[in-house]
């Protein structure tokens, strides 16, 4: 987090000088801080804004047509569950889609800067984090769980946690309670370089995975305890 | 219809941001100072129920209205316009609206002729002609 804090300071200085949002220009990418976690202006502004859950709930109206009321997502995995996700992860993903660092054409118009300002991002993130995570999410077929567990514990648990709890401090998403088909789809597009904003270490690890490996891990993740 | 929504549309007609041959002529003769009285008057009227002509089509529309289309990224209309179609200051009331009018506006958003709300342009561009017809049929009965 030391690098991250230093990076914030540099950004704050640059923002003070430029005083404007830049949608595309990467402002600062440190040598040891890979682009996946780049601190660009709208993201820093959202991270520095004080989020308010009541305002976030009101703004979330434009998201619930897809992510559903209380952000439970869809059991078929077409839209992820956002309830209970870490604030840092939600901010990163929202602003990454907003600035097209994460490819998501379906969501792009709804998170556009014309519609969602950094303050809105902060508000929505706080609101979503506080929502309850229930155990009625989509699960995999359950036919290759031992293999999934083996791979998860070897390659994934270090960052995403033994219980799939992720890390707010490290921007690692919580994966427990997430719909199976979403976990499956995102893992595949991260492996195939189509999502673009994943941690490079994850891309390296998952590159070796077959479709079957990925399905097994996604299935295992979908069965992690929802409220550890 | 919500007062704030009505007022905003009157201003759009006056500024040319929203185009309509009939309204463009009429709005020229109305003083801007009277816009809020008009919005207030119309928002105070009791809404009349619409009429569903094709129940089968309305059933298709209901599914789309409540669930969207996950394949094409159409959000559920209910998310913004509310499950009962009552709307609010940002998103207009749809309940009981004439089929022809709903269809015309969806078409205008789809083509970009009406671009007063970017979100709605994005949504309409993802709707097929059949989906628009089904939705117009459903909301008429709300």
Summarize pLDDT for A101-142 with one digit per residue, the tens.
999 999 999 999 999 999 999 999 999 999 999 999 999 999
So what's the ipTM on this one?
Answer: 0.93
| DSSP per-residue codes, A85-146 | --HHHHHHHHHHHHTTSS--TTTHHHH-TTT--HHHHHHHHHHHHTSPPPS-S-----SSHH
A6: left (phi over 0), alpha (psi -120 to 50) or beta: alpha
pLDDT for residue A24:
43
> Cβ separation of B76 and A65 shorter than 8 Å?
yes
Minimum Cα–Cα distance from B79: chain A residue? A65
For residue A18, give Cα distances in angstroms to A14, A41, A113, A147, A165: 6, 10, 18, 51, 38
Nearest chain B residue to A110 by CA: give it. Answer: B119
DSSP helix, strand, coil percent of chain B (3-state; round to 5)? 60, 0, 40
Q: Rounded to whole angstroms, how far apart are CA atoms A228 and B101?
A: 52
The domain defined by B55-140 folds into: Cytochrome Bc1 Complex; Chain D, domain 2 (1.10.760)
C-alpha–C-alpha distance, residues A88 and B65, integer Å: 32
Interface test with A, best of B67, B74, B79, B124 (most A CBs within 10 A): B79
Among A65, A76, A105, the residue with its CB nearest the CB of B75 is A65
| Burial B17-48, CB ≥16 within 10 A → b, else e | ebebeeeeeebeeeeeeebeeebeeeeeeeee
Residue A97 sits at φ, ψ, to 5 deg, of -70, -40
3-class SS of residue A19: coil
Contact A115 B78 (CB under 8 A): no
Contact B119 A78 (CB under 8 A): no
Where are chain B's structural domains? 3-43, 55-140
Where along chain A do its domains lie?
Answer: 2-129, 145-222
CA of B133 vs chain A CAs: smallest distance (Å): 19
Contacts of A109 in chain B (CB under 8 A): 118-119, 121-122
pLDDT at position A34 is 57
Chain B CB contacts of A113 below 8 Å: none
Give the number of other CB atoms < 10 A from CB of residue B59: 13
Per-residue pLDDT tens digits of chain B, which is 142 residues long = 999 999 999 999 999 999 999 999 999 999 999 999 999 999 999 999 899 999 999 999 999 999 999 999 999 999 999 999 999 999 999 999 999 999 999 999 999 999 999 999 999 999 999 999 999 999 999 9
How many CB atoms neighbour CB A194 within 10 A? 10
When computed from its CA atoms, the radius of gyration of chain B, rounded to whole angstroms, is 15
Taking an 8 Å cut-off on Cβ atoms, the answer to whether B118 and A66 are in contact is no
Identify whether the C-beta of residue A38 lies closer than 8 Å to the C-beta of residue A74. no
What is the distance in angstroms between the CA of the first residue and the CA of the last residue of chain B? 14
Whole-number average pLDDT of chain A: 88
Are B122 and A110 a contacting pair at CB < 8 A? yes
What does the pLDDT read at residue A36?
A: 87
Residues of B in contact with A68 (CB under 8 A): 76
Q: What is the rounded average pLDDT of the residues A75-81?
A: 98
Distance from CA of B25 to the nearest CA of A (A): 31
Closest residue on chain B to A69 (Cα): B79
Pick the CATH number of A145-222 from 1.10.150.130, 2.60.40.420, 1.25.40.20, 1.10.760.10: 1.10.760.10
- Measured over the CA atoms of residue A114, residue A117, residue A123 and residue A125, the dihedral's sign is positive
Nearest-CA distance from A62 to chain B in Å?
6
pLDDT one-digit tens code per residue, A190-223 = 999 999 999 999 999 999 999 999 999 999 999 9
Number of inter-chain CB pairs under 8 A, A vs B: 39
3-state secondary structure of A66: helix
Distance CA A16, CA B21 (A): 47
Average pLDDT over residues A39-50: 97
Neighbours of A16 (CB within 10 A): 8
Residue range A1-36, pLDDT digits in tens? 444 444 444 444 444 444 344 444 343 333 334 578
Distance CA A51, CA A121 (A): 8
Q: What is the CATH number assigned to the segment(s) A2-129?
A: 1.10.760.10
Give tens-digit pLDDT for A146-197.
999 999 999 999 999 999 999 999 999 999 999 999 999 999 999 999 999 9
| Chain A neighbors of B122, CB-CB under 8 A | 109-110
Considering only CB atoms, which chain B residues are within 8 Å of A63?
Answer: 79
Set of chain B residues whose Cβ sits within 8 Å of the Cβ of A182? none
Chain B residues near residue A76 by CB distance under 8 angstroms: 70
Note the pTM of the prediction, 2 decimals: 0.89
A2-129 and A145-222 agree in CATH topology: yes
Distance from CA of A78 to the nearest CA of B (A): 6
> Shortest Cα distance from A48 to chain B (angstroms)?
27
Backbone angles phi, psi at A173, to 5 degrees: -65, 145
Q: Where are the beta strands (DSSP E) in chain A?
A: none
Chain B nearest-CA distance from A110, in A, is 6
């Amino acid at each position: 987090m030391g690098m991250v804090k230093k990076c914030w300071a540099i950004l704050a200085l640059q923002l003070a000088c430029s005083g404007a949002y830049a949608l595309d220009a990467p402002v600062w990418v440190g040598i040891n801080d890979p682009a996946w976690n780049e601190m660009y202006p709208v993201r820093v502004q959202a991270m520095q804004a004080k989020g308010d859950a009541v305002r976030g709930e009101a703004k979330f109206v434009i998201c619930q047509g897809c992510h559903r009321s209380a952000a439970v997502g869809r059991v078929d995995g077409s839209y992820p569950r956002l309830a209970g996700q870490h604030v840092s992860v939600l901010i990163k993903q929202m602003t990454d889609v907003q600035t097209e660092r994460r490819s998501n054409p379906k969501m792009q118009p709804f998170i556009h800067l014309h519609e969602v300002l950094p303050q809105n991002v902060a508000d929505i993130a706080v609101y979503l984090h506080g929502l309850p995570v229930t155990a009625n999410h989509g699960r995999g077929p359950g036919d290759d769980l031992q293999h999934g567990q083996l791979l998860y514990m070897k390659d994934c648990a270090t960052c995403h946690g033994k219980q799939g709890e992720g890390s707010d401090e490290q921007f690692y998403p919580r994966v427990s309670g997430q719909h199976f088909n979403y976990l499956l789809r995102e893992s595949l597009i991260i492996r195939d370089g189509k999502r673009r904003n994943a941690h490079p270490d994850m891309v390296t690890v998952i590159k070796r995975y077959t479709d079957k490996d990925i399905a097994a891990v996604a299935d295992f993740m979908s069965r992690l305890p929802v409220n550890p | 219809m919500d007062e704030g929504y009505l007022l905003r549309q009157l201003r759009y007609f006056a500024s040319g941001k929203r185009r309509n041959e009939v309204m463009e002529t009429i709005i020229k003769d109305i003083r801007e100072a009277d816009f809020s009285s008009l919005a207030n008057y119309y928002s105070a009227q009791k809404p009349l129920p619409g009429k569903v002509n094709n129940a089968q089509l309305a059933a298709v529309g209901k599914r789309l209205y409540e669930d969207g289309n996950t394949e094409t990224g159409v959000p559920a209309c209910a998310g913004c316009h509310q499950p009962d179609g009552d709307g609010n200051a940002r998103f207009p009331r749809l309940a009981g609206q004439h089929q022809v009018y709903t269809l015309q506006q969806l078409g205008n958003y789809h083509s970009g002729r009406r671009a007063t709300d970017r979100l709605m342009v994005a949504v309409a561009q993802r709707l097929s002609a059949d989906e628009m017809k089904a939705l117009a049929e459903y909301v008429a009965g709300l």
